[in-house]
Amino acid sequence: MTGQLLTREVTRAEVCVVACAEAWRGDGEILASPMGVIPRLGAQLARLTFAPDLLLSDGEAYLLDGDAVEGWLPYRSVFGVVASGRRHVMMGASQLDRHGNQNISCIGDWQRPARQLLGVRGAPGNTANHPTSYWVPRHSPRVFTGQVDMVCGVGYDRAAGLAYHEIRRVVTNLAVLDFETPERTMRLRSVHPGVRVAEVVAATGFALAIPGEVPETREPSGPELALIRERLDPGGARDGEVP
C-alpha cells in the first residue's frame, strides 16, 4: 500500500528505488536510461553512491550531473550508443513471460487487439544490443503471464545469435527477479520486506524458479535514505508509483 511503513520507517517505494539502483551496480561508464519515477530515482541514487561513472541523460540533448549539464548527447547520437552496447535501459512491461519476453504493444491478437498500448518502440533494439532491466509497479498474473500477446523485448528463448543480449533484473512492488538459472528462466531473487514468497508466487502467472532460501531485498542505508528524501525526491513522487 502507498506509504506503508516498513522497518526503520522505510517505505516500499524506497525499497524499490534501492532495488532499481542495484541493477546498475558494476556497469561502469555507460548510459543509464531509466523509464519511470522509481527507475529514475534508482539511477540517480546509484550515481551518487556506488556507481559514479554512470552517464545520465535528460532524454533529449544533454548529459546531466544532478541539475547541471555536463555533456552533449543529442537524441540521434543515442542510437550509436545503443549499437555499441554502452547502455543499460530499465523499461516498463505490460506483459512478461518466464523467458523474459516483453510486450508493450497490444493486448489480444495483434491483428485485432482488444487494447492498443505503446507500440513496439525501441524494445527489440534494446534487448538485442545491451543490458535491459524491467520495472513493474504492479506485480500481477496479468503482467507475469504464461505467454505474451506480442513479443517486443526479446527473451532468452529467442536470443540465439544475439551476442549482447542480457536481461539483468526485473524489479516489482513485491520482489526482485532475475534469470540466473541454467535454463535462463525467471527466478525469484529477493522479496521486499513484509512480502511473503507465497504472495509473489500467487501474483505470477507461471512457475518461478525459487531457491531454497529467498533473502529480503535490502533497505536503503541512512545516507541513501537521506538522499532519496531530501535531495532526489523531497516531494514524494515515488509513493505515487508504487501501489
Interacting residues of 11 by C-beta distance below 8 A, sequence separation 6+? 3, 4, 5, 238, 239, 242
Give me the count of residues in the chain. 243
Amino acid 81: pLDDT: 86
In whole angstroms, give the CA distance from residue 190 to residue 70: 36
Question: Are the CB atoms for 15 and 193 separated by under 8 Å?
Answer: yes
Q: Does domain 7-237 have CATH number 3.40.1080.10?
A: yes
Helix (H) or strand (E) holding 32: strand 31-34
Tens of pLDDT, residue by residue, the chain (243 residues): 334 444 458 999 999 999 999 999 999 999 999 999 999 999 999 999 999 999 998 777 888 887 788 888 887 888 888 888 899 999 999 999 999 999 999 999 878 889 888 888 889 999 999 999 999 999 999 999 999 999 999 999 999 988 889 999 999 999 999 999 999 999 999 999 999 999 999 999 999 999 999 999 999 999 999 999 999 999 999 999 996
Interacting residues of 67 by C-beta distance below 8 A, sequence separation 6+? none
Query: CB count, 10 Å around CB of 207?
Result: 11
Whole-prediction pTM: 0.92
Question: Would you kindly state where each structural domain of the chain is located, as residue ranges?
Answer: 7-237
In whole angstroms, give the CA distance from residue 14 to residue 116: 32
Helix (H) or strand (E) holding 223: helix 222-226
Amino acid 121: pLDDT: 86
Amino acid 76: pLDDT: 82
Closest among 195, 17, 183 to 90, alpha carbons compared: 17
In whole angstroms, give the CA distance from residue 75 to residue 157: 31
In whole angstroms, give the CA distance from residue 181 to residue 201: 17
At position 181, the amino acid (one-letter code) is: T
Amino acid 8: pLDDT: 56
